[in-house]
Structure 1
Amino acid sequence: MPSQLHAAVHIADTTQFDYQPPAAAYHARQILVKPNLGYPVAPPVTVSMGVLGAVLKGLRQASPHADILIVEGVCSAQSLTEIVSGNGLYSIIDDGMQVLDADQLPLKEYANRSPHPVRFASMLAPALLEEVDCRISVSAFKRTHLKGLPLISASLKNLYGLFPRDRYKARSPNSRGQLHRPSVPLILQDVYFTIGHLFNGAVVDGDRKLISRDWKPDRGQTVDLGKVIWGDDLLAVDRAACQVGDETVPDYIEAIEQLK
Protein backbone atom coordinates (compact mmCIF):
# COMPACT_ATOMS: atom_id res chain seq x y z
CA MET A 1 0.00 0.00 0.00
CA PRO A 2 1.65 3.31 -1.05
CA SER A 3 2.39 5.81 1.68
CA GLN A 4 0.53 9.14 1.55
CA LEU A 5 1.96 10.75 4.66
CA HIS A 6 2.66 13.96 2.75
CA ALA A 7 -0.63 14.16 0.86
CA ALA A 8 -1.85 17.66 0.04
CA VAL A 9 -4.38 19.17 2.43
CA HIS A 10 -6.45 22.28 1.74
CA ILE A 11 -7.77 24.65 4.40
CA ALA A 12 -10.25 27.45 3.74
CA ASP A 13 -12.48 29.80 5.66
CA THR A 14 -15.94 28.28 5.80
CA THR A 15 -17.42 31.19 3.87
CA GLN A 16 -14.84 30.68 1.10
CA PHE A 17 -15.02 26.88 0.86
CA ASP A 18 -14.97 25.79 -2.79
CA TYR A 19 -14.61 22.02 -2.89
CA GLN A 20 -12.01 20.53 -5.21
CA PRO A 21 -12.77 16.80 -5.55
CA PRO A 22 -10.12 14.09 -5.94
CA ALA A 23 -9.23 12.80 -9.39
CA ALA A 24 -11.44 9.73 -8.92
CA ALA A 25 -14.54 11.94 -8.84
CA TYR A 26 -14.07 13.21 -12.39
CA HIS A 27 -16.22 11.40 -14.95
CA ALA A 28 -17.23 8.87 -12.28
CA ARG A 29 -20.25 6.67 -12.81
CA GLN A 30 -21.12 6.41 -9.10
CA ILE A 31 -19.82 8.43 -6.14
CA LEU A 32 -20.44 7.51 -2.50
CA VAL A 33 -20.57 10.30 0.08
CA LYS A 34 -20.52 9.37 3.77
CA PRO A 35 -21.67 12.41 5.78
CA ASN A 36 -21.80 12.63 9.57
CA LEU A 37 -25.59 12.74 9.96
CA GLY A 38 -26.13 9.98 12.50
CA TYR A 39 -27.90 12.07 15.14
CA PRO A 40 -31.07 14.21 15.09
CA VAL A 41 -29.03 17.19 16.28
CA ALA A 42 -27.79 20.31 14.49
CA PRO A 43 -24.11 21.09 13.74
CA PRO A 44 -21.49 20.73 15.06
CA VAL A 45 -22.83 17.37 16.26
CA THR A 46 -23.55 16.69 12.59
CA VAL A 47 -22.09 18.15 9.43
CA SER A 48 -23.62 21.43 8.25
CA MET A 49 -25.70 21.60 5.09
CA GLY A 50 -23.52 24.49 3.92
CA VAL A 51 -20.37 22.37 3.91
CA LEU A 52 -22.10 19.22 2.65
CA GLY A 53 -23.86 21.25 -0.04
CA ALA A 54 -20.51 22.64 -1.24
CA VAL A 55 -19.12 19.11 -1.43
CA LEU A 56 -22.10 17.88 -3.44
CA LYS A 57 -21.82 20.88 -5.75
CA GLY A 58 -18.14 20.20 -6.37
CA LEU A 59 -18.82 16.54 -7.08
CA ARG A 60 -21.65 17.38 -9.46
CA GLN A 61 -19.41 19.76 -11.36
CA ALA A 62 -16.74 17.05 -11.61
CA SER A 63 -19.24 14.44 -12.83
CA PRO A 64 -22.45 15.98 -14.19
CA HIS A 65 -24.07 12.60 -14.87
CA ALA A 66 -22.88 10.54 -11.91
CA ASP A 67 -25.17 8.86 -9.43
CA ILE A 68 -24.19 10.43 -6.09
CA LEU A 69 -25.11 8.11 -3.24
CA ILE A 70 -25.30 9.70 0.22
CA VAL A 71 -24.86 6.81 2.65
CA GLU A 72 -25.20 6.97 6.44
CA GLY A 73 -26.02 4.64 9.30
CA VAL A 74 -27.61 6.38 12.26
CA CYS A 75 -26.79 6.22 15.99
CA SER A 76 -30.31 7.06 17.11
CA ALA A 77 -33.76 5.62 17.59
CA GLN A 78 -34.87 8.00 14.85
CA SER A 79 -34.63 6.83 11.25
CA LEU A 80 -32.20 8.23 8.71
CA THR A 81 -35.13 9.70 6.77
CA GLU A 82 -36.32 11.58 9.84
CA ILE A 83 -32.86 12.87 10.64
CA VAL A 84 -31.95 14.10 7.16
CA SER A 85 -35.39 15.64 6.72
CA GLY A 86 -34.90 17.61 9.92
CA ASN A 87 -31.39 18.66 8.89
CA GLY A 88 -32.55 19.91 5.50
CA LEU A 89 -30.62 17.49 3.29
CA TYR A 90 -33.44 16.89 0.84
CA SER A 91 -33.52 20.58 -0.04
CA ILE A 92 -29.91 20.56 -1.34
CA ILE A 93 -29.81 17.38 -3.45
CA ASP A 94 -30.59 17.03 -7.14
CA ASP A 95 -32.38 14.27 -9.04
CA GLY A 96 -29.18 12.30 -9.48
CA MET A 97 -28.53 12.06 -5.73
CA GLN A 98 -29.97 9.40 -3.43
CA VAL A 99 -29.98 9.03 0.36
CA LEU A 100 -29.32 5.43 1.43
CA ASP A 101 -29.43 3.86 4.90
CA ALA A 102 -26.23 1.86 5.42
CA ASP A 103 -28.11 -0.56 7.69
CA GLN A 104 -30.37 -1.55 4.77
CA LEU A 105 -27.72 -2.18 2.12
CA PRO A 106 -26.30 -5.54 0.98
CA LEU A 107 -23.13 -6.32 2.91
CA LYS A 108 -19.80 -8.04 2.34
CA GLU A 109 -16.77 -8.92 4.42
CA TYR A 110 -13.76 -6.68 3.89
CA ALA A 111 -10.42 -8.27 4.73
CA ASN A 112 -8.20 -6.43 7.20
CA ARG A 113 -5.07 -5.43 5.27
CA SER A 114 -3.16 -4.42 8.39
CA PRO A 115 0.02 -6.37 9.08
CA HIS A 116 -1.15 -6.46 12.71
CA PRO A 117 -4.97 -6.56 13.04
CA VAL A 118 -6.22 -5.43 16.44
CA ARG A 119 -9.41 -7.46 16.76
CA PHE A 120 -11.11 -8.08 13.42
CA ALA A 121 -9.56 -10.17 10.64
CA SER A 122 -12.38 -8.81 8.48
CA MET A 123 -15.29 -6.41 8.93
CA LEU A 124 -18.80 -6.34 7.49
CA ALA A 125 -19.78 -3.19 5.56
CA PRO A 126 -21.89 -2.26 2.50
CA ALA A 127 -20.81 -4.02 -0.69
CA LEU A 128 -21.45 -0.70 -2.42
CA LEU A 129 -18.08 0.56 -1.17
CA GLU A 130 -16.28 -1.59 -3.72
CA GLU A 131 -18.82 -0.97 -6.48
CA VAL A 132 -18.56 2.82 -6.74
CA ASP A 133 -15.81 4.79 -8.49
CA CYS A 134 -15.17 7.33 -5.74
CA ARG A 135 -15.76 7.57 -1.97
CA ILE A 136 -15.74 10.74 0.16
CA SER A 137 -16.01 11.07 3.96
CA VAL A 138 -17.61 14.35 5.11
CA SER A 139 -17.37 14.67 8.87
CA ALA A 140 -17.97 16.95 11.79
CA PHE A 141 -15.07 17.67 14.18
CA LYS A 142 -15.50 16.49 17.76
CA ARG A 143 -13.57 15.75 20.94
CA THR A 144 -15.20 13.33 23.36
CA HIS A 145 -13.76 11.44 26.32
CA LEU A 146 -13.63 7.68 26.73
CA LYS A 147 -12.14 6.08 29.84
CA GLY A 148 -10.70 9.42 30.85
CA LEU A 149 -8.85 9.94 27.57
CA PRO A 150 -9.74 12.37 24.77
CA LEU A 151 -11.00 10.92 21.49
CA ILE A 152 -10.91 12.94 18.27
CA SER A 153 -13.67 12.18 15.79
CA ALA A 154 -13.11 13.38 12.24
CA SER A 155 -13.12 11.78 8.78
CA LEU A 156 -11.87 8.33 9.83
CA LYS A 157 -14.10 7.93 12.88
CA ASN A 158 -16.98 9.06 10.65
CA LEU A 159 -16.78 5.67 8.92
CA TYR A 160 -18.23 3.92 11.99
CA GLY A 161 -21.67 4.69 10.56
CA LEU A 162 -21.07 2.32 7.65
CA PHE A 163 -20.92 -0.78 9.84
CA PRO A 164 -24.24 -2.60 10.45
CA ARG A 165 -25.66 -2.12 13.93
CA ASP A 166 -27.18 -5.61 13.93
CA ARG A 167 -23.68 -7.07 13.70
CA TYR A 168 -21.76 -4.61 15.89
CA LYS A 169 -24.26 -3.55 18.55
CA ALA A 170 -23.63 -4.26 22.23
CA ARG A 171 -25.96 -3.11 25.02
CA SER A 172 -27.72 -0.45 22.96
CA PRO A 173 -29.40 -1.41 19.66
CA ASN A 174 -28.81 2.14 18.40
CA SER A 175 -25.02 2.13 18.60
CA ARG A 176 -22.08 -0.02 17.56
CA GLY A 177 -20.72 -0.94 20.98
CA GLN A 178 -18.62 -3.82 19.68
CA LEU A 179 -16.47 -1.23 17.91
CA HIS A 180 -15.54 0.28 21.30
CA ARG A 181 -13.77 -2.87 22.51
CA PRO A 182 -10.93 -2.91 23.48
CA SER A 183 -10.92 0.81 22.58
CA VAL A 184 -12.01 3.09 19.76
CA PRO A 185 -8.46 4.26 18.94
CA LEU A 186 -7.37 0.65 18.52
CA ILE A 187 -10.43 -0.39 16.50
CA LEU A 188 -9.89 2.61 14.20
CA GLN A 189 -6.79 0.78 12.98
CA ASP A 190 -9.01 -2.10 11.86
CA VAL A 191 -11.49 0.36 10.34
CA TYR A 192 -8.78 1.99 8.27
CA PHE A 193 -7.30 -1.23 6.96
CA THR A 194 -10.69 -2.78 6.09
CA ILE A 195 -12.61 0.11 4.48
CA GLY A 196 -10.81 3.37 5.28
CA HIS A 197 -8.06 2.78 2.73
CA LEU A 198 -10.72 2.64 0.00
CA PHE A 199 -11.69 6.29 0.45
CA ASN A 200 -10.52 8.78 -2.16
CA GLY A 201 -11.12 11.93 -0.16
CA ALA A 202 -12.07 13.49 3.14
CA VAL A 203 -13.67 16.74 4.25
CA VAL A 204 -13.78 17.92 7.87
CA ASP A 205 -16.36 20.57 8.72
CA GLY A 206 -14.30 22.65 11.12
CA ASP A 207 -16.59 25.62 11.19
CA ARG A 208 -17.27 24.73 14.81
CA LYS A 209 -15.70 22.09 17.03
CA LEU A 210 -17.75 20.09 19.53
CA ILE A 211 -16.21 19.41 22.94
CA SER A 212 -18.01 16.83 25.04
CA ARG A 213 -17.29 16.35 28.74
CA ASP A 214 -17.95 12.62 28.44
CA TRP A 215 -18.35 9.93 25.80
CA LYS A 216 -21.54 11.36 24.28
CA PRO A 217 -20.85 12.81 20.82
CA ASP A 218 -24.26 14.47 20.51
CA ARG A 219 -23.95 17.12 23.23
CA GLY A 220 -21.33 19.48 24.56
CA GLN A 221 -19.76 22.88 24.13
CA THR A 222 -18.91 24.42 20.79
CA VAL A 223 -15.82 26.36 19.77
CA ASP A 224 -15.80 28.51 16.64
CA LEU A 225 -12.99 27.63 14.21
CA GLY A 226 -14.44 28.91 10.95
CA LYS A 227 -12.49 26.48 8.74
CA VAL A 228 -13.03 23.57 6.37
CA ILE A 229 -10.20 21.07 5.87
CA TRP A 230 -10.11 18.69 2.92
CA GLY A 231 -7.86 16.52 0.79
CA ASP A 232 -7.38 13.10 -0.76
CA ASP A 233 -6.05 11.27 2.32
CA LEU A 234 -8.14 10.71 5.45
CA LEU A 235 -5.19 10.59 7.82
CA ALA A 236 -3.57 13.74 6.46
CA VAL A 237 -6.86 15.62 6.62
CA ASP A 238 -7.57 14.51 10.19
CA ARG A 239 -4.03 15.45 11.24
CA ALA A 240 -4.46 18.92 9.72
CA ALA A 241 -7.88 19.33 11.35
CA CYS A 242 -6.31 18.67 14.75
CA GLN A 243 -3.68 21.30 14.07
CA VAL A 244 -6.31 23.82 12.98
CA GLY A 245 -8.47 22.97 15.99
CA ASP A 246 -5.62 23.14 18.52
CA GLU A 247 -5.95 19.46 19.37
CA THR A 248 -3.19 16.93 19.93
CA VAL A 249 -2.89 14.62 16.92
CA PRO A 250 -4.32 11.32 18.18
CA ASP A 251 -2.09 8.29 18.57
CA TYR A 252 -4.27 6.23 16.25
CA ILE A 253 -3.27 8.39 13.26
CA GLU A 254 0.42 7.85 13.90
CA ALA A 255 -0.10 4.15 14.57
CA ILE A 256 -1.89 3.68 11.23
CA GLU A 257 0.73 5.72 9.36
CA GLN A 258 3.46 3.48 10.75
CA LEU A 259 1.61 0.37 9.62
CA LYS A 260 0.96 1.59 6.06
Structure 2
Amino acid sequence: MATTSDPRRGFLEFEAVGQVFPTPRGPFEALRDINLSVNEGEFLCVIGHSGCGKSTLLNMVSGFLRPSHGRVTLHGEVIERPGPDRMVVFQNYSLLPWKTVWENVELAVKAARPELPRASRAQVVEHHLAMVHLLDSRDKRPPQLSGGMRQRVAIARALAVNPAVLVLDEPFGALDAITKEELQEELLAVWRVNRPTVLMITHDIDEALFLADRIVMMTNGPAATIGEILPVPFERPRRYESIQEDPRYAQLRNHAMDFLFRRHAHDVD
Protein backbone atom coordinates (compact mmCIF):
# COMPACT_ATOMS: atom_id res chain seq x y z
CA MET A 1 0.00 0.00 0.00
CA ALA A 2 1.45 3.38 -0.96
CA THR A 3 2.06 6.01 1.66
CA THR A 4 1.74 9.77 1.33
CA SER A 5 5.03 11.41 0.38
CA ASP A 6 6.62 13.32 3.26
CA PRO A 7 9.20 16.01 2.37
CA ARG A 8 10.95 15.40 5.69
CA ARG A 9 11.76 11.82 4.72
CA GLY A 10 14.89 10.75 2.90
CA PHE A 11 14.77 9.62 -0.71
CA LEU A 12 15.19 5.94 0.18
CA GLU A 13 14.24 4.93 3.73
CA PHE A 14 14.60 1.81 5.87
CA GLU A 15 12.31 2.23 8.87
CA ALA A 16 12.65 -0.26 11.77
CA VAL A 17 13.24 -3.04 9.22
CA GLY A 18 13.59 -6.62 10.37
CA GLN A 19 13.63 -9.92 8.52
CA VAL A 20 12.81 -13.38 9.86
CA PHE A 21 13.03 -16.48 7.66
CA PRO A 22 11.30 -19.78 8.48
CA THR A 23 13.67 -22.76 8.70
CA PRO A 24 13.25 -26.44 9.66
CA ARG A 25 14.80 -25.52 13.03
CA GLY A 26 12.48 -22.60 13.59
CA PRO A 27 12.52 -18.89 12.77
CA PHE A 28 15.87 -17.35 11.81
CA GLU A 29 16.21 -13.62 12.43
CA ALA A 30 18.47 -12.29 9.68
CA LEU A 31 18.05 -8.54 10.28
CA ARG A 32 16.90 -6.48 13.26
CA ASP A 33 15.94 -2.82 13.59
CA ILE A 34 17.51 -1.39 10.42
CA ASN A 35 17.05 2.38 10.24
CA LEU A 36 18.72 4.16 7.35
CA SER A 37 18.01 7.24 5.26
CA VAL A 38 19.65 7.41 1.83
CA ASN A 39 19.79 10.75 0.03
CA GLU A 40 18.88 11.17 -3.63
CA GLY A 41 21.99 10.82 -5.80
CA GLU A 42 24.03 9.31 -2.97
CA PHE A 43 26.50 6.46 -3.54
CA LEU A 44 26.21 4.12 -0.56
CA CYS A 45 28.30 0.99 0.00
CA VAL A 46 27.21 -1.76 2.41
CA ILE A 47 30.02 -3.85 3.82
CA GLY A 48 30.14 -6.74 6.27
CA HIS A 49 30.90 -10.42 6.65
CA SER A 50 28.96 -13.19 4.94
CA GLY A 51 25.62 -13.74 6.60
CA CYS A 52 25.19 -10.16 7.81
CA GLY A 53 22.12 -9.51 5.67
CA LYS A 54 23.65 -7.33 2.94
CA SER A 55 21.88 -9.16 0.12
CA THR A 56 18.65 -9.21 2.11
CA LEU A 57 18.73 -5.40 2.28
CA LEU A 58 19.32 -5.14 -1.46
CA ASN A 59 16.53 -7.61 -2.20
CA MET A 60 14.17 -5.39 -0.24
CA VAL A 61 15.14 -2.33 -2.26
CA SER A 62 14.84 -4.31 -5.49
CA GLY A 63 11.35 -5.48 -4.49
CA PHE A 64 12.22 -9.18 -4.48
CA LEU A 65 11.57 -9.43 -0.72
CA ARG A 66 9.14 -7.78 1.71
CA PRO A 67 10.49 -7.18 5.23
CA SER A 68 8.95 -9.12 8.11
CA HIS A 69 8.90 -5.94 10.17
CA GLY A 70 9.06 -2.25 9.32
CA ARG A 71 9.11 -0.92 5.78
CA VAL A 72 11.34 0.25 2.94
CA THR A 73 10.12 3.33 1.05
CA LEU A 74 11.19 5.17 -2.08
CA HIS A 75 9.83 8.68 -2.69
CA GLY A 76 7.73 8.07 0.43
CA GLU A 77 5.99 5.02 -1.06
CA VAL A 78 6.41 1.49 0.24
CA ILE A 79 8.41 -0.79 -2.07
CA GLU A 80 6.19 -3.80 -2.72
CA ARG A 81 7.50 -5.31 -5.97
CA PRO A 82 10.29 -4.99 -8.57
CA GLY A 83 10.11 -2.06 -10.96
CA PRO A 84 12.15 -0.27 -13.63
CA ASP A 85 12.89 2.57 -11.21
CA ARG A 86 15.24 0.12 -9.42
CA MET A 87 17.71 -1.77 -11.59
CA VAL A 88 20.05 -4.50 -10.36
CA VAL A 89 23.55 -5.42 -11.55
CA PHE A 90 24.66 -8.83 -10.29
CA GLN A 91 28.15 -10.30 -9.97
CA ASN A 92 27.35 -12.97 -12.57
CA TYR A 93 26.29 -10.44 -15.28
CA SER A 94 22.84 -12.05 -15.94
CA LEU A 95 22.99 -11.41 -19.69
CA LEU A 96 21.06 -13.37 -22.30
CA PRO A 97 23.85 -15.35 -24.02
CA TRP A 98 21.98 -15.82 -27.30
CA LYS A 99 21.42 -12.10 -27.81
CA THR A 100 23.98 -9.52 -28.89
CA VAL A 101 25.31 -6.73 -26.71
CA TRP A 102 22.95 -4.31 -28.46
CA GLU A 103 19.95 -6.62 -28.07
CA ASN A 104 20.60 -7.18 -24.34
CA VAL A 105 20.47 -3.45 -23.67
CA GLU A 106 17.64 -2.75 -26.12
CA LEU A 107 15.45 -5.44 -24.55
CA ALA A 108 15.64 -3.73 -21.15
CA VAL A 109 14.91 -0.29 -22.61
CA LYS A 110 11.96 -1.62 -24.59
CA ALA A 111 10.48 -3.33 -21.51
CA ALA A 112 10.94 -0.35 -19.18
CA ARG A 113 10.15 2.46 -21.64
CA PRO A 114 7.70 1.02 -24.17
CA GLU A 115 6.53 4.50 -25.16
CA LEU A 116 9.85 5.28 -26.85
CA PRO A 117 9.73 5.09 -30.66
CA ARG A 118 12.26 2.80 -32.28
CA ALA A 119 14.64 5.58 -33.32
CA SER A 120 14.68 7.09 -29.83
CA ARG A 121 15.23 3.68 -28.28
CA ALA A 122 18.20 3.12 -30.58
CA GLN A 123 19.67 6.45 -29.51
CA VAL A 124 19.39 5.47 -25.84
CA VAL A 125 21.09 2.12 -26.46
CA GLU A 126 23.85 3.68 -28.54
CA HIS A 127 24.48 6.40 -25.96
CA HIS A 128 24.87 3.98 -23.07
CA LEU A 129 27.04 1.51 -24.98
CA ALA A 130 29.29 4.42 -25.94
CA MET A 131 29.49 5.47 -22.29
CA VAL A 132 30.95 2.07 -21.34
CA HIS A 133 33.14 1.91 -24.47
CA LEU A 134 31.33 -1.03 -26.05
CA LEU A 135 29.79 0.44 -29.18
CA ASP A 136 32.31 -1.39 -31.36
CA SER A 137 31.23 -4.67 -29.74
CA ARG A 138 27.52 -4.12 -30.27
CA ASP A 139 27.09 -7.22 -32.48
CA LYS A 140 29.00 -9.63 -30.25
CA ARG A 141 27.31 -12.05 -27.88
CA PRO A 142 28.23 -12.43 -24.18
CA PRO A 143 30.27 -15.65 -24.63
CA GLN A 144 32.56 -13.69 -26.98
CA LEU A 145 33.29 -11.06 -24.31
CA SER A 146 35.66 -10.92 -21.36
CA GLY A 147 34.27 -10.75 -17.83
CA GLY A 148 34.95 -7.04 -17.64
CA MET A 149 33.17 -6.39 -20.93
CA ARG A 150 30.15 -8.42 -19.83
CA GLN A 151 29.89 -6.35 -16.68
CA ARG A 152 30.07 -3.18 -18.79
CA VAL A 153 27.06 -4.46 -20.75
CA ALA A 154 25.19 -5.15 -17.52
CA ILE A 155 25.92 -1.64 -16.25
CA ALA A 156 24.91 -0.06 -19.57
CA ARG A 157 21.68 -2.09 -19.58
CA ALA A 158 20.79 -0.96 -16.05
CA LEU A 159 21.58 2.71 -16.64
CA ALA A 160 19.80 2.82 -20.03
CA VAL A 161 16.49 2.38 -18.20
CA ASN A 162 17.26 5.63 -16.31
CA PRO A 163 16.52 4.16 -12.85
CA ALA A 164 16.08 6.20 -9.70
CA VAL A 165 18.08 3.58 -7.78
CA LEU A 166 20.91 1.41 -9.06
CA VAL A 167 21.44 -1.73 -6.97
CA LEU A 168 24.90 -3.30 -7.31
CA ASP A 169 25.43 -6.76 -5.82
CA GLU A 170 29.24 -7.16 -5.70
CA PRO A 171 29.46 -6.34 -9.43
CA PHE A 172 33.27 -6.53 -9.57
CA GLY A 173 33.80 -9.45 -7.20
CA ALA A 174 34.70 -11.95 -9.93
CA LEU A 175 37.14 -9.69 -11.80
CA ASP A 176 40.91 -9.43 -11.60
CA ALA A 177 42.41 -6.47 -9.74
CA ILE A 178 43.36 -4.42 -12.82
CA THR A 179 39.99 -4.88 -14.55
CA LYS A 180 38.20 -4.15 -11.27
CA GLU A 181 39.99 -0.83 -10.81
CA GLU A 182 39.31 0.19 -14.42
CA LEU A 183 35.60 -0.59 -14.09
CA GLN A 184 35.33 1.20 -10.76
CA GLU A 185 36.65 4.38 -12.38
CA GLU A 186 34.33 3.91 -15.36
CA LEU A 187 31.37 3.36 -13.05
CA LEU A 188 32.02 6.66 -11.28
CA ALA A 189 32.39 8.48 -14.60
CA VAL A 190 29.08 7.07 -15.87
CA TRP A 191 27.34 7.65 -12.52
CA ARG A 192 28.27 11.34 -12.58
CA VAL A 193 26.23 11.84 -15.78
CA ASN A 194 22.73 11.05 -14.41
CA ARG A 195 23.61 10.61 -10.72
CA PRO A 196 21.22 7.76 -9.78
CA THR A 197 21.12 6.75 -6.14
CA VAL A 198 23.43 3.75 -5.75
CA LEU A 199 23.25 1.01 -3.14
CA MET A 200 26.17 -1.38 -3.51
CA ILE A 201 27.34 -4.49 -1.66
CA THR A 202 31.08 -5.07 -1.44
CA HIS A 203 33.57 -7.02 0.68
CA ASP A 204 36.38 -4.72 -0.44
CA ILE A 205 37.18 -1.83 1.93
CA ASP A 206 39.36 -0.07 -0.64
CA GLU A 207 36.59 -0.29 -3.22
CA ALA A 208 34.08 1.19 -0.76
CA LEU A 209 36.42 4.06 0.15
CA PHE A 210 36.96 4.86 -3.52
CA LEU A 211 33.32 4.73 -4.61
CA ALA A 212 31.09 5.68 -1.69
CA ASP A 213 29.81 8.83 -0.06
CA ARG A 214 29.10 6.75 3.05
CA ILE A 215 29.92 3.18 4.08
CA VAL A 216 27.31 1.23 6.03
CA MET A 217 29.11 -1.37 8.16
CA MET A 218 26.97 -4.29 9.30
CA THR A 219 27.32 -6.35 12.45
CA ASN A 220 27.38 -10.13 12.18
CA GLY A 221 24.25 -12.21 11.93
CA PRO A 222 21.95 -13.56 13.16
CA ALA A 223 19.94 -10.44 14.03
CA ALA A 224 22.44 -8.32 12.11
CA THR A 225 22.03 -4.57 12.22
CA ILE A 226 23.89 -1.40 11.23
CA GLY A 227 26.92 -1.18 13.49
CA GLU A 228 28.35 2.06 12.18
CA ILE A 229 28.09 4.44 9.22
CA LEU A 230 31.40 5.81 8.01
CA PRO A 231 31.32 9.10 6.01
CA VAL A 232 33.86 9.23 3.16
CA PRO A 233 35.22 12.80 2.88
CA PHE A 234 37.12 12.68 -0.43
CA GLU A 235 36.02 15.20 -3.06
CA ARG A 236 34.77 14.09 -6.46
CA PRO A 237 35.84 13.33 -9.11
CA ARG A 238 38.21 10.82 -7.55
CA ARG A 239 41.32 8.99 -8.67
CA TYR A 240 42.77 6.05 -6.79
CA GLU A 241 46.24 7.60 -6.71
CA SER A 242 45.11 10.88 -5.21
CA ILE A 243 42.89 9.51 -2.45
CA GLN A 244 45.44 6.88 -1.41
CA GLU A 245 47.98 9.64 -0.90
CA ASP A 246 45.56 11.46 1.42
CA PRO A 247 46.48 10.79 5.10
CA ARG A 248 42.76 10.35 5.88
CA TYR A 249 42.66 7.28 3.62
CA ALA A 250 44.80 5.15 5.92
CA GLN A 251 42.87 6.36 8.96
CA LEU A 252 39.50 5.44 7.44
CA ARG A 253 40.79 2.12 6.15
CA ASN A 254 42.22 1.18 9.54
CA HIS A 255 38.96 2.18 11.21
CA ALA A 256 36.93 -0.05 8.86
CA MET A 257 39.42 -2.92 9.26
CA ASP A 258 39.18 -2.61 13.03
CA PHE A 259 35.38 -2.76 12.86
CA LEU A 260 35.32 -5.82 10.60
CA PHE A 261 38.27 -7.86 11.81
CA ARG A 262 38.56 -7.01 15.50
CA ARG A 263 35.26 -5.71 16.87
CA HIS A 264 33.17 -7.92 14.57
CA ALA A 265 35.55 -10.71 13.62
CA HIS A 266 33.95 -13.62 11.78
CA ASP A 267 35.42 -17.08 12.31
CA VAL A 268 34.16 -18.59 9.05
CA ASP A 269 34.05 -15.65 6.58
The TM-score normalised by the length of structure 2 is 0.32
Higher strand share: 1
Q: Which has the larger radius of gyration?
A: 2
Higher helix share: 2
